[in-house]
């Protein structure tokens, strides 16, 4: 038993050092949180891909070699599939170094109330609890199986935030107002309900397209902000804001499709900009990175833009985008 605990502690410490080496733990408060919260408690079992499906690894496997594989994977700086149904991944534990970058980008302050959309394993909520205290953290997920397991994992680690089963697109009005909202699932657009549950000046950080949008909330109906440089790939949000249609990519040069930044633009403009127009724009604007793009949300609409919210390149956002190639660039917003 002692050797097992030593192995867990060594693996945990190694992961913290690895994340720290990426520069994602420059804030001592977040470094302390990652050092204090053991990831293995949140992934007592998980799935690894294999030909034809998934293999389940778990902490209580009678085979010591399999237990060692489980522990190694639990503390790898990589995402982990934690819930699989009918051969499809439904939920996962995000890459820890990406979680660290997102938490740093959330810019929390002491006393901030935070709403997390997508409970996952509960690991991210535990990190937030360590930083802010249990009473200031709310995490929401649509799937009762996910929220129940997250609640168990959190309790095992000694944390007790508010865990709510519900549609994350609707937020959590009973716990509002919030100073920060962070989503751990990909969105097709920013749910308007979130803005009404935020204090003015609140920050929203969410995966959109293949990037992370950081919005500053002006009031209950408006927000604006830019994408971070980093890429971000998450399981899509299920519920009221689901429905992003994947972009059509037929006939585009392979070299362009293999470029991650072009794929970001292609996904961001899916259904509103012909893919060939998107390629021409991307080349004409010197292959812009994510940080040159932003999103504006108003009471009646929301749109993504390049360089300027009222500039010549803007595209409406939302789950309605279903006819790639039918709409061109919209000058000055949708």
Rounded Cα–Cα distance for residues 113 and 66 (Å):
40
Strand partners, 92: 81
Radius of gyration (Cα) for the chain, nearest Å? 20
CA neighbours closer than 13 Å in the CB half-sphere of residue 302:
24
**3 state DSSP class of 235:** coil
Rounded Cα–Cα distance for residues 299 and 83 (Å):
36
Residue 93 a catalytic site member: no
Q: For the CA atoms of 214, 304, 245, 197, what is the dihedral angle to 10 degrees? A: 50
Strand partners, 179: none
Rounded Cα–Cα distance for residues 81 and 316 (Å):
32
Strand partners, 213: 206, 227
In this structure, the strands spanning 198-208 and 211-219 are antiparallel
Active-site entry in 91, 94, 97, 149:
91
Phi, psi dihedral angles at 289 (to 5 degrees): -80, 175
Among all residues, which ones are annotated catalytic? Answer: 91
């Amino acid at each position: 038993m002692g050797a097992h605990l030593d192995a867990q502690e060594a693996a945990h410490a190694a992961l913290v050092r690895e994340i720290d080496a990426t520069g994602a733990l420059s804030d001592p408060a977040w470094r302390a949180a990652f050092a204090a919260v053991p990831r293995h408690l949140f992934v007592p079992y998980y799935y690894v891909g294999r030909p034809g499906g998934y293999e389940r690894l778990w902490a209580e496997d009678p085979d010591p070699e399999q237990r060692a594989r489980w522990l190694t994977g639990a503390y790898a700086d990589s995402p982990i599939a934690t819930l699989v149904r009918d051969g499809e991944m439904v939920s996962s534990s995000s890459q820890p170094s990406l979680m660290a970058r997102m938490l740093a980008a959330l810019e929390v302050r002491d006393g901030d109330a935070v709403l997390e959309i997508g409970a996952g394993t509960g690991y991210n909520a535990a990190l937030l609890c360590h930083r802010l205290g249990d009473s200031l953290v709310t995490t929401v997920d649509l799937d009762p199986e996910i929220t129940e397991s997250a609640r168990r994992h959190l309790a095992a680690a000694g944390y007790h935030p508010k865990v709510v089963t519900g549609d994350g697109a609707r937020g959590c009005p009973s716990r509002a107002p919030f100073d920060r909202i962070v989503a751990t699932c990909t969105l097709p657009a920013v749910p308007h309900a979130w803005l009404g549950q935020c204090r003015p000046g609140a920050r929203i950080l969410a995966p959109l397209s293949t990037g992370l949008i950081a919005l500053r909330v002006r009031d209950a109906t408006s927000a604006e902000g830019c994408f971070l440089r980093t890429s971000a790939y998450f399981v899509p949000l299920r519920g009221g804001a689901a429905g992003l249609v994947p972009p059509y990519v037929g006939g585009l040069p392979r070299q362009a499709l293999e470029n991650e930044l072009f794929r970001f633009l292609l996904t961001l403009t899916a259904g509103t900009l012909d893919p060939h127009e998107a390629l021409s724009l991307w080349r004409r604007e010197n292959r812009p990175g994510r940080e040159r793009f932003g999103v504006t949300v108003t009471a009646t609409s929301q749109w993504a833009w390049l360089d300027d919210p009222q500039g010549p390149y803007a595209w409406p956002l939302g789950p309605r985008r279903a006819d790639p190639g039918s709409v061109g660039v919209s000058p000055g917003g949708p």
